[in-house]
């Protein structure tokens, strides 16, 4: 239905951004909300998902990310939330490489993905995923007050257990990260080990 929205970022929360397009605020569930800056212009590729009891707009920095998201949705056992979590965690090319090599261990590191689902991803998508060109987090970084707290909240919003996220607090605080985006990237790296 929609391909992309161009507008101004009106709000950034741990789970979504609000994009103001000609006076209408669209709530977009994205992989990394803190890659966007309130007040900045943005183009976000959009996928509209309609379920029995819910409608949601999922946003992506690139058309390739949107395509990968839609390919993940074709896999039995993968819903929009799981697909978004996989995209948030996968380093550029990491998902395509893992599928091509049949790396079940890599895929089971994502929240909500067990061994059977990982095997199903490999079976259904082998040879279909192209390695993305460029970074999944293409929007510019921006300092945010309480950057570490926001990053921790975003990790929980992506589906990681609160206890696992809480254990990362000291480790993340000791890193050289200064923005929510940097903390979030570091946290995703640590949680996927």
| pLDDT value at residue 173 | 82
The CATH number of whichever domain residue 54 belongs to comes to 2.40.50.140
From CA 138, how far away is CA 148, in angstroms rounded? 20
Residue the block writes with tokens 């995923």: 129
40 and 67 co-located in one domain: no
Domain annotation covers residue 9:
yes
Q: How many domains does the chain have?
A: 3
For residue 7, give both structure tokens: 């507008």
From CA 113, how far away is CA 160, in angstroms rounded? 11
Domain annotation covers residue 94:
yes
Say if residues 25 and 44 touch (Cβ distance below 8 Å).
no
Domain annotation covers residue 78:
yes
From CA 16, how far away is CA 18, in angstroms rounded? 7
81 and 107 co-located in one domain: yes
111 and 73 co-located in one domain: yes
pLDDT digits 0-9 by tens, 98-125? 888 898 998 888 888 899 999 999 999 8
Note the pTM of the prediction, 2 decimals: 0.67
Sign of CA dihedral 159, 164, 170, 172: negative
Domain span including residue 155 = 147-191
- Tell me how far apart the 2 most distant CA atoms of the chain are, in Å: 46
User: Which regions of the chain are under pLDDT 50?
Assistant: 131-145
Where does a domain end: 74, 92, 125? Answer: 125
23 and 48 co-located in one domain: yes
Distances (CA, A) of 168 to 4, 119, 189: 35, 29, 11
Domain annotation covers residue 67:
yes
Domain annotation covers residue 83:
yes
From CA 83, how far away is CA 135, in angstroms rounded? 17
pLDDT digits 0-9 by tens, 75-85? 998 999 889 98
| pLDDT value at residue 189 | 86
């Amino acid at each position: 239905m929609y391909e992309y929205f161009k507008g101004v970022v009106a709000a950034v929360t741990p789970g979504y951004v609000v994009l103001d397009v000609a006076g209408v605020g669209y709530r977009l569930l994205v992989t990394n909300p803190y890659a966007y800056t309130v007040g900045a212009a943005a183009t976000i590729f959009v996928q509209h998902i309609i379920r029995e009891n819910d409608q949601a707009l999922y946003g992506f920095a690139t058309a390739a990310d949107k395509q990968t998201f839609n390919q993940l949705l074709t896999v039995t056992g993968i819903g929009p939330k799981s697909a978004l979590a996989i995209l948030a965690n996968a380093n550029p090319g990491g998902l395509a490489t893992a599928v091509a090599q049949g790396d079940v261990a890599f895929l089971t590191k994502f929240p909500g993905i067990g061994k059977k689902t990982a095997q199903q991803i490999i079976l259904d998508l082998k040879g279909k995923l192209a390695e993305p060109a460029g970074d999944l987090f293409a929007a510019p970084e921006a300092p945010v007050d309480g950057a570490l707290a926001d990053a921790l909240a975003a990790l929980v919003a992506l589906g990681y257990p609160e206890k696992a996220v809480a254990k990362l607090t000291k480790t993340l605080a000791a890193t050289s990260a200064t923005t929510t985006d940097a903390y979030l990237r570091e946290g995703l790296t640590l949680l996927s080990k």
